[in-house]
């Protein structure tokens, strides 16, 4: 069975991607008018990403707190400063049959919903009482980004990166744990039908932020992009 994000979710990610890649203004683009670029366009964008021969050695000074408060609302990304933390923003975006209630960090805190994890195709029921069953993954991992350039960014850029919806997706707990901070050369989603979309989002984030890419991962991403239909 093919695994794809819902049209509602892909419209949001496509808009984020188109803006990251082509630099359009948020207010000037309608989601319905922002289809993903062609495979050739994605490959051209990938070719512009600065490369290194291999992933740089892991820096011992990495700390999650360097990217600011987890799921902070006070940032200038799409959906920021909306009186709701980023985690709940992404859950509302990615889940179906969403149920919300007022909470301390969000007036529309997600308390229940359903997700088909794009990484595996597995159907999940989300309940706030067992919230870890659905997790929010950074498509370009924070630790990877740190090693590949983010250690030198201003704090505001790191905060934006950690909360940018173009770099976030709701997934199942196991695949998020299995991925860890691994780059595409060492991990791609188990659901091969999602490789195209995963590669597109990975490239979109690299186009928007100064993150180096290792050559082995560039080859994996290029192969995934060539397989897009």
| Residue 167 CB coordination number (10 Å) | 27
E strand or H helix at 51: strand 51-52
Element (H, E) at 113: strand 109-116
According to DSSP, the β-strands at 96-101 and 134-138 are unpaired
pLDDT of residue 93: 97
> What's the pLDDT at 124?
96
What pLDDT shows up at residue 131? Answer: 81
**pLDDT under 70 in the chain at which residues?**
1-36
Q: What is the pLDDT of residues 126-167, one digit of tens each?
A: 998 888 899 999 999 999 999 999 999 999 999 999 999 999
Please tell me the distance from the alpha carbon of residue 176 to that of residue 172, in angstroms, as a whole number. 6
CA 170 vs. chain centroid, Å, equals: 9
The per-residue pLDDT for 229 is 81
Per-residue pLDDT, 13: 52
φ, ψ of residue 83 in degrees (nearest 5): 65, 25
**Residue 36 pLDDT:** 55
Predicted TM-score of the model (pTM): 0.86
Q: What is the pLDDT of residues 202-227, one digit of tens each?
A: 999 999 999 999 999 999 999 999 99
Both tokens assigned to 42: 């994605």
């Amino acid at each position: 069975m093919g695994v794809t994000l819902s049209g509602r979710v892909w419209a949001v990610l496509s808009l984020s991607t188109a803006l990251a890649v082509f630099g359009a203004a948020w207010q000037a683009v309608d989601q319905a008018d922002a289809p993903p670029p062609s495979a050739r366009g994605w490959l051209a964008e990938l070719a512009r990403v600065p490369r290194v021969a291999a992933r740089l050695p892991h820096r011992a000074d990495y700390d999650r707190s360097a990217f600011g408060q987890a799921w902070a609302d006070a940032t200038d990304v799409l959906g920021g400063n909306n009186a709701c933390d980023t985690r709940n923003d992404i859950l509302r975006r990615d889940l179906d049959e969403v149920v919300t209630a007022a909470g301390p960090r969000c007036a529309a805190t997600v308390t229940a919903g359903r997700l088909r994890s794009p990484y595996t195709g597995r159907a999940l029921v989300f309940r706030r009482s067992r919230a870890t069953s659905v997790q929010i993954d950074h498509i370009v991992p924070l630790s990877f980004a740190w090693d590949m350039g983010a250690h030198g960014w201003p704090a505001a850029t790191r905060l934006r990166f950690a909360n940018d919806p173009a770099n976030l997706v709701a997934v199942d707990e196991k695949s998020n744990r299995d991925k860890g901070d691994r780059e595409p050369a060492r991990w791609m989603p188990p659901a091969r039908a999602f490789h195209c979309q995963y590669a597109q989002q990975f490239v979109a984030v690299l186009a928007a932020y100064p993150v180096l890419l290792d050559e082995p991962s560039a080859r994996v991403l290029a192969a995934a992009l060539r397989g897009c239909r």
